[in-house]
Structure 1
Amino acid sequence: MASGWVINELPKWIVLGAYMLINIALFLYQFFLFQDSDRFYYMRIRTREALAFARGPSLPINFNVILILLPVCRNLISFIRGTGRCPPRTVRRILDKNLTFHKAIAWVIIASSAMHVIAHWYNYERLVSLANNNAPQGPRRLNQQWPWEKRNVPTEAQPNLASVQIDPITICFTTAAGITGHIITVALFLMVTSSFDFIRRSYFEVFWYTHHLFIVFLLGLAFHQFQELLPLQNNSPDLSSSNIHDPKFCGVIGDTYEGHTTRMSANNNTIILDNGTTLCSGASFSAAAPCSWKYMLGGLIIYIIERIIRFIRSLRNVVIVKVVEHPSKTFEIQMRRKGFFAEAGQYVFINVPSVAFLEWHPFTLTSAPEEDYFSVHIRIVGDWTEKVAKQLGVGRGDFQQAWELPTISVDGPFGTASEDVFSHEVGLLVGAGIGVTPFASILKSVFYKLTQEDTALKLRKVYFYWICPEPSAFEWFADLLQSVESQMASKGISDFLDTHIYLTRGWQDSQAFSIMLQEGDDRDAITGLQAKTHFGRPDWNKEFDSISQAHPNTSVGVFFCGPSVLSHNLHRYCNEYTKSGDTTRARFYFNKENF
């Protein structure tokens, strides 16, 4: 039996480690290519190591541009997941880290771009400084050495700049590489800064629109090398040729070359070996052709296909069956769409064109696959949700005709970690606050599957923990829990679901005392459920120990949706309580919702 770290951590670190090793290998390959190759000798003696530090990160950037769009191709990921049945559990859990991988790719691009930009700023400064200080004009004699480098650099080996008498700032903003490079840098900076959690959650529209600067980023990268500034030497040292140019020898002339003695030509422009071969003349150069667009093409084609699929699917007609108002500023939209089928725990993207034509927001489905409609619960917490609620007539108290309701587009469904709950023998569901929504669909689906005689269910027990910050947060979801609870009790399967509800704050001492006096009542004073409300936070050590002993040698799927602090704690407990070789304890597999 594998340990908790092997189950929950090792696959992730293998993938991440392999990914980082590939990036390091690409950087080192490109770095030493420009640092040691004779083709870049004449550029190197101007820029020194800065050329390799500028070009080294370019290959990792191109590699990651292939990958950056793939983790957000949700149809592709859902297809690979096979709705949770085809790939092994380990592969599915790695796929559920798609947004984490997307962020990791972005940070590698940021680090590589920073090194690339800083090194090129140095290159521009140095090239202009050398060109503007005693730069010889016209044809060069072999023995005419650069005053500042003591090297012979052919005219053709100079960068393809419009003029040598120019300042670095002008070069940065007049060359194709300089213009596109700074546009790319600004676009990348805006995309990254608008993606931080506090901005994304508080100002989603800022994040949404700014993130679409990736189009500008990709276009800028495609044209970044368009001007072909970097010269490459074509002819390599080969003594079988009648005319060779070895830059390392021609730059600093010696008395011998590859065992042959040398002599100057009559006009001092070339060197002649003792076998008659002409050396150090006719150096041939060509410009480095653009290649970034080739790298991005593969990922971009997949992403375009993804967007076409999502666009076509979003055009399908969606019928609003019912709008239900719930307490705590929450409303439910029940809908139907031809051909729509979702697994429990999946999510959709919703667009209301009359509110915001381009904005798509993710919502977890709260309906079960067995129901003849699909639904989402939306909490009014921002401008977009307020406008949608208003157009749906929430709070008006009167009946709206179908033609008065806004048009809604739905894209999805898409797979999540929660749908794998049925592949475990025991499920431990933990929802914090509004993070309880993924489990509405699962709990209802569990009930339907238990009551269907022809359904073989691997899942034998569900532990449900709901942690709320204040009493009002219970109101909208308590109705659903009461329904599931009463239906299970009526079927004699109430032991299947073990519910634990925790209130972390928002109560007064007098309220707590009053509730404690009602401990003997059949229903909880706050939620109306048979499960009693606990004050404070769960003792996870105690809970994990109890579940582990109750289900020895059993697969327990832990599914969480909520804040990252609690996520880290649950992840740690899953690792601690899964012991290698201990058949008296359960195995805990940690899963977290990502949108």
Structure 2
Amino acid sequence: MQLTETSSRNKQQNFVSQTVLHHTMEERPVGEAVISNRRLEQDPVKWRLSPSVFMKWALKTSMWLIFVTWIAMFFLYPSKSMEGMFQKLFHATGRTFFGILGAVFLTFSAPILIIAFLAMIYLAAFPREYHEKKKPDFLRFRLRTFPVLINGPLGIVSAAELIGMFMFTAYIIWAFSAYTIQNHRSISKMTLPSKEKSYLMIERSGRRLGSIGLSCLGFLFLPIARGSILLRLIDVPMEHATKYHIWLGHVVMAIFTLHGLCYVVVWSLQGRLLHQIIRWKSNGFSYLPGVISLLTGLLMWVTSLPPVRKKYFELFYYTHQLYAIFIIFLALHVGDSIFSVAAGGIFLYLLDRFLRFCQSRKTVDIVSATILPCGTVELVLSKPRNLSYNALSFIFIRVRELSWLQWHPFSVSSSPLEGRRHLSILIKVLGEWTGKLRENITKASEQPQKDFPYQSHPRITTSVEGPYGHESEYYLTYENLILVAGGIGISPFLAILKDILYRLRENKPCVPKKVLVIWAVKKYEDLSLLSMLDAKSICPSFHDKLHLEIQTYVTQESEPVLEDGKLCESVGCSSFPMTNGSSMSSLVGTGNNIWSGVYFISSTIGFIICLGLMEAFYITPFHVTRWWFKGLLFIICMIASVFLFGGFVVILWHYWERKVLSREKYMNGDDKSRSTQYNEPKKQLVACQPNLASSSSTQYGYRPDFQEIFNSVSERWGKADIGVIVCGPRNLRSSVAAECRSRTMVGNQTIFHFNCHSFDL
């Protein structure tokens, strides 16, 4: 009986090892970020003798080697000449305790986890802090900031992204072509009728498509892990990575759809469609779970298409939560060994999702809320001192009085140097949710607690996720900056300007010397947002160090409704008492790197322990061989490791955070007296057109002419690298990107580096 079980297990391992295929990832600038070396200004001898520099170099080299080996395996696996080598690898590692599952996981999922582990060490040991560097003597052309495709269905695509897309597409074509040739050769040798050979060819092609789709699935979840250590390593913010998730989602679902259609066509021609669809096999692929997974994926795919997503956003959002069903039934369909192909990326997403869940449970106090003359709402939120962010960060916010499920992203409008215990956001009233928020704030301002001491004070209960954003402050690396905003898109640029002014005041490293702000608004009253920036109070002598020019365009008015310089009253300023001093949690986003590393290591080790215990005390003793059931057990181990092992670390992390906050309160005195400056209701007089810039102008009745503006900048600023950052509607981004592309392609002495800061869903 033991010999029979051993023989059966060997056959299963052979079948799985032949079925499991290579995986690939979208060629994003990971390698570029992993191997990118910063300019070292130390003496070469000192550099060679420095242990820290050697450790930094060793970590980068290790991550690079793992990444290159990983990608090479993806491309080599479809090759017939390499098939024998991979078979030997699977059989050699398949004799270990974890069997073929461990072999496949170690080959295809472990590398991404190892890179993530090394990235934890790298960012913890060498945090990215901005240091002013010597200006290079040559202009720098960057693939990441050169837009190539602009008005196509993919939006604005940089040269680096286009190269990655070409390599990713080439891999899929190469893999499918190689497998098609192999299938044709093997089937042509069979003595079967031509019709049966055609059926078999279609069925095997469908199997190969499913394997290629599974390989892509492992990378589908990496871009939407908002606080992912991998995104921080390559300095790609989540708002940019979201479009990679969208591209990968279309590719994955297209491949899986073709995979399912191949089987449907064959089964229909053979007259056994219904019988096969409802079939749930013990060993091998279970078709019914695959059908459920595919239908769930198709529902998410259809509701995510732009016409549906933009018109019925809540439908898109809620159906996208079905990803759990999609993943679980996929594991039931293919079993644990084949599912482990995509397990690495999914596991990293689960780690991030659990942290986000824990962070969002905490109630965050609103220090103050103000309604500006243009109707925009400013919220000032409490945060701990150890929570770091940069001026281009954004947060997700939920207001329980409005909805328990809706989360909305907003750019941070304050500088990290502005206040250690708070950050602010600007919210433009554009829809039902933002309209209700402004209405609640208005009611709160009309019923102050001192006038109604025996009534409950109106409150707004908020939860926050983030902050997220760039790991580095790249806007500080340009001596010349052009900030182009449309409407509320000025919010992150107010944070940038504040950050620059605070750095100038405190004599911190700050490269920007010339800043041009181009801002297009619909109404003149929208210009009151500039009142959020009081440059002279921040740095009275900023004119000596910074040439700031602001060009505003009022597109829907031919003349000013209010006279320039007329004071406008902030109509609705309300304060919310800090009853418990609850501030934002630092579990995700730019949280503590040490605790993040412990959380990751603990969960990963816990995952291995759970798999080992399951194998030793259940699968082997009870002779569990059903593929679908082992796939379910694999998913349970993933979830249990995150909740149990990772959850224990989160509890300790939260306890440590509370101790740090308590110590800070004790050292700084009573928190209530310290926060009085934010909690007292007040009304301010703000100028609608403050004198901020060295040269300011306001144009009425037309939009900015970027060709004329860029011509003027090129003539005045001469040969220079100019960073262009855009935040606004899609048409605005496309116009600026087209101008940057045209000027860089003609070989001008001035290079415009295009950067986009817009979050679209």
Corresponding position of 1:558: 724
Within 5 Å, give how 1:159-178 maps onto structure 2.
167-175=272-280, 177-178=286-287
Q: Distance in 2 between matches of 1:459 and 1:491?
A: 12
The alignment partner of 1:553 has SS state of: coil
Residue 540 of structure 2 corresponds to residue 379 of structure 1? no
Of structures 1 and 2, the one scoring higher in RCO (CA 8 A, sep 6+) is 2
In structure 1, the partner of 2:532 is 480
Whichever residue aligns with residue 480 of structure 2, its letter is: V
**Percent identity over paired residues:** 24
The structure 2 residue matched to 1:503, chosen from 554, 559, 584, is: 554
The verdict on how the C-alpha distance between 1:16 and 1:185 changes in structure 2, with shifts beyond 3 A counting, is same
Q: Equivalent residue for 1:231?
A: none
- 2:370 aligned counterpart, secondary structure: strand
Paired position in structure 1 for 2:518? 465
Further displaced range: 395-404 or 329-338: 395-404
Distance in 1 (alpha carbons) for counterparts of 2:349 and 2:142? 36
Displacement of 1:478 in angstroms is: 3.1
* TM alignment of 1:516-595, pairs within 5 A: 527-530=688-691, 531-535=696-700, 536-578=702-744, 585-595=749-759
What is the aligned partner in structure 1 of residue 411 from structure 2? 364
2:379 aligned to which of 333, 336, 343: 333
Shift in Å at residue 64 of structure 1?
1.2
On the 8 A contact 1:71/1:99 being kept in 2, the answer is: yes
Query: Which residue does 2:318 correspond to in 1?
Result: 209
Deviations 1:55-95 (A, max 9, x none): 23112211111000000112125x6546xxxxxxxx54698
1:532 counterpart letter in structure 2: S
Q: Cα 1:524–1:351, aligned 2, differ >3 Å: closer, same or farther?
A: closer
SS at match of 1:357: coil
Q: Which residue matches 1:62?
A: 214
Kindly provide the amino acid, as one letter, of the partner of residue 742 in structure 2. E
Give the corresponding residue for 2:293: 184
Superposition deviation, residue 543 in structure 1:
1.1
Aligned in 2, Cα 1:416/1:563: closer, same or farther, shift over 3 Å?
farther
User: Which amino acid counterpart does residue 506 of structure 2 have in structure 1?
Assistant: Q
What stretches of structure 1 of length at least 5 have no aligned partner? Answer: 83-90, 129-166, 227-289
TM-score of the aligned structures, taking structure 1 as reference length: 0.71
Q: 1:556 & 1:544 partners in 2: Cα distance? A: 10
Q: Which letter maps to 1:566?
A: L
1:459 to partner: Cα distance = 1.1
Counterpart in the other structure of 2:261: 118
The answer to whether 1:423 aligns with 2:575 is no
Give how far 1:200 is off.
Answer: 3.9
In the alignment, the residues of structure 1 paired with residue 735 and residue 143 of structure 2 have an alpha-carbon distance, to the nearest angstrom, of: 14
Deviation of 1:554 after TM superposition, in Å, equals: 1.9
Taking a change above 3 Å as real, the CA distance of residues 304 and 7 of structure 1, as seen in their structure-2 partners, is closer
Check 1:309–1:395 CA distance in 2 against 1; reply closer, same or farther (3 A cut): closer
Out of 499, 514, 517, the residue aligned to residue 445 of structure 1 is 499
CA deviations on 1:332-383 (whole Å, 9 max, x unpaired) are: 1111122322111111111234433333221111111112210111223333
Q: Deviations over 1:182-201 (max 9, x none)?
A: 43333223323332445445
- Structure 2: tracts of 5 or more residues without a match: 1-138, 147-157, 451-455, 569-686
Q: Within 2, Cα distance between the matches of 1:473 and 1:4?
A: 35
**Is 1:293 aligned with 2:339?**
yes
One-letter amino acid of the structure 2 residue matched with residue 468 of structure 1: V
Q: Measure how far apart 1:171 and its partner are.
A: 3.4
User: Judging changes above 3 Å, is the alpha-carbon distance between structure 1 residues 353 and 397 closer, same or farther for their aligned structure 2 residues?
Assistant: closer
What is the letter of the counterpart of residue 492 of structure 1? H
Task: Name the TM-score, length of structure 2 as normaliser.
Answer: 0.56
What SS does the aligned partner of 2:333 have?
A: coil
2:753 partner amino acid: Y
Partner Cα distance (1:429, 1:191) in 2: 36
Give, as a single letter, the amino acid of the residue that structure 1 aligns with 2:744: T
Q: How far did 1:566 drift? A: 2.1
SS of 1:209's partner is helix
Alpha carbons of 1:4 and 1:445: their partners in 2 closer, same or farther (altered >3 Å)? Answer: closer
Give the match for residue 395 of structure 2. Answer: 348
CA–CA separation in structure 1 for the residues paired with 2:313 and 2:417: 33
Q: What is the aligned partner in structure 2 of residue 263 from structure 1?
A: none
Q: Where does residue 185 of structure 2 map in the other structure? A: 36
In 2, Cα distance between equivalents of 1:594 and 1:23: 30
Deviation at 1:178, TM superposition (A): 4.5
How far residue 431 of structure 1 moved from its aligned partner, in angstroms, is 0.8
Alpha-carbon distance change, 94 to 414 in structure 1, aligned in 2, over 3 angstroms: closer
Larger Rg: 1
Aligned partner letter, 1:294: S
Opposite residue 565 of structure 1, the aligned amino acid is N
Q: Residues 48 and 311 of structure 1: is their aligned pair in 2 closer, same or farther, counting only changes over 3 Å?
A: closer
Superposition CA RMSD, Å: 3.4
- Residue type of the alignment partner of 2:530: A
Q: What residue in structure 2 maps to residue 432 of structure 1? A: 486
Query: What is aligned with 2:203?
Result: 51
Please name the residue that 2:356 is paired with.
Answer: 310
Deviation, structure 1 residue 463: 0.8
In structure 2, the partner of 1:244 is none
Tell me how far apart the structure 1 counterparts of residues 465 and 144 of structure 2 sit (CA, whole Å).
Answer: 36
How far apart are residue 426 of structure 1 and its match?
Answer: 1.0
CA distance 1:589–1:491, change in 2 (3 Å):
closer
SS of the residue corresponding to residue 362 of structure 1 reads strand
1:98-109 to 2 correspondence within 5 Å? 98-109=241-252
Distance in 2 between the 1:417 and 1:588 partners? 22
In structure 2, the CA distance between the partners of 1:168 and 1:81, relative to structure 1 (3 Å rule), is closer
d(CA) in 2 for partners of 1:181, 1:19 = 25
Deviation at 1:96, TM superposition (A): 6.5
For 1:171, give the aligned amino acid.
Answer: Q
**Pairwise CA distance, 1:552:** 3.0
Offset of residue 108 of structure 1: 0.8
How far the C-alpha of 1:14 sits from its partner, in A, is 2.1
Q: Give the secondary-structure state (helix, strand or coil) at the position aligned to 2:342.
A: helix
AA matched with 2:330: L
The 1-side partners of 2:241 and 2:734 are apart by 18
2:223 corresponds to which of 61, 65, 71: 71
| 2:169 equivalent to 1:14 | no
- Helix, strand or coil for the counterpart of 2:543? coil
**Per-residue deviation, 1:175:** 4.9
Do the aligned residues in 1 keep the contact of 2:490 with 2:727 (CA within 8 Å)?
A: yes
How far did residue 213 of structure 1 move? 1.6
Q: Which amino acid aligns with 1:552?
A: G
Shift of 1:291: 4.7
Q: Is the 8 A contact 2:418 2:502 kept in 1?
A: no
Deviations, residues 287-322 of structure 1 (Å, cap 9, x unaligned): xxx754212211111011111222333345523211
| Partner Cα distance (1:539, 1:366) in 2 | 27
Q: Distance in 1 between matches of 2:730 and 2:744?
A: 21
- Structure 2 CA distance, aligned partners of 1:498 and 1:364? 23
| More helix as a share of residues | 2
Q: 1:589 to 1:485 in 2, by over 3 A?
A: farther
Q: Provide the rounded CA distance (Å) in 1 between the counterparts of 2:489 and 2:471.
A: 14
How many residue pairs were aligned? 472
- Residues 553 and 396 of structure 1: is their aligned pair in 2 closer, same or farther, counting only changes over 3 Å? same
The answer to whether the 8 A contact 2:743-2:752 is kept is yes
Q: Equivalent residue for 2:55?
A: none
